[in-house]
Structure 1
Amino acid sequence: MTDVEIEYCVPCGFLDRAENVQHVLLTTFGEKLDTVTLRTGANGVFRVSVNDERVYDKQDDAFDVDEIVRRVRDHV
């Protein structure tokens, strides 16, 4: 069972970025993922977690969709 959560900053306008990551993950992994949830946040947040384990945080890493997919793949 694999659950992905994408938390994104609403005031920063990161919805498009979050939707893009969500789309790529669903396209890449399909039925291997149980959920890919978008969660609203603030203060510049953009994080991706798999089964409650953070795999990407904008504060620590440059934004790269391919890298996020690789990190999620390690948990699928």
Structure 2
Amino acid sequence: MKPLVTIYYCPKCGWLLRAAYMAQELLTTFEEDVEGVTLKPADVAGRYSILINDEVIFDRKREGRFPEIKELKQLVRDIVHPGKSLGHSDKKSE
């Protein structure tokens, strides 16, 4: 069974558009590798967490920031399809 990505976002903080953008990017990159991306309004204020099959791969409060899309794609790739090339997203920042 393919993994499911879940993005919890704080609706009171206005983070739905950010979550939807990240979901779109993940679905575009991993359409063959994931079951889907689910957006869930969080019950906890200020929450922005990204999970794969209930395992947290990124948490805004823990990291003190939002993920960069390049970083998020690498995190997801490393779990759902480790051999997949991400093209320009794989290049190291200088």
TM over 0.5: same fold? yes
Structure 1, unpaired ranges of 5+ = none
Higher relative contact order (CA 8 A, sep 6+): 1
User: 1:11-50: CA deviations, max 9, x gaps?
Assistant: 0000010001100000111121102100001410000001
Quote the RMSD (CA, aligned, Å). Answer: 1.0
Question: Number of paired residues?
Answer: 76
Please tell me the residue identity of whatever aligns with 2:79: H
State the identity %.
38
Higher normalized strand content (fraction of residues): 1
- Tell me the TM-score normalised to structure 1 length: 0.93
- Structure 1 runs of 4+ off > 3 angstroms? none
Which is greater in Rg? 2
| Equivalence for 1:17 | 18
Please tell me the residue identity of whatever aligns with 2:58: Y
- Tell me the TM-score normalised to structure 2 length: 0.76
